[in-house]
Amino acid sequence: MVEVTEKLDTVREAVASGYVSLSKEVIKLIQENQIKKGDPLEIAKIAGIMAAKKTYELIPLCHQLLLTKVDVSLKLEDTGICIESQVVCLGKTGVEMEALTAVSIAALTIYDMCKAVDKSIEIGKIKLLKKTGGKSGIFINKR
């Protein structure tokens, strides 16, 4: 792990996004609450939050962080689901890996819940949109 003992605690925030492409059939089933495993949007939200909290267990050499906020939002669109996560902590190192993990696991949860109906699901466009805190200041990725 990277040594962070001497770094100052600052408020750290990261925002990440991703997209799950789905067939019209799956989108209709989601809208009508007919996915057999349940509501993919609600379950993916919880999965993303849980994943952010366990990022240090999933990715080698990540620091265990005391997260003060994790939010995952999912928006159903005509061609799929847009996922966005926001993670905040007061600490010595950034939370971008936690935000990216939240989006990734939310996307995989949607895949798992919908794969029986749609074999052509695609997960993509996972990226960091914003990072603040520490000496680096603010990073904003133009979508």
In a domain, 1, yes or no: no
In a domain, 4, yes or no: no
Place 107 in a pLDDT band, splitting at 50, 70 and 90: very high
Range 13-18 average pLDDT: 98
CATH number at residue 36: 3.30.70.640
9, 71, 78, 112: the catalytic one is 112
Burial of 124 per CB tally in 10 Å (0-12, 13-18, 19+): exposed
Q: Kindly report, residue by residue over 35-61, the tens digit of the pLDDT.
A: 999 999 999 999 999 999 999 999 999
78 in active site: no
Confidence (pLDDT) at 6: 85
Q: Residue 120 is part of which domain span? A: 10-134
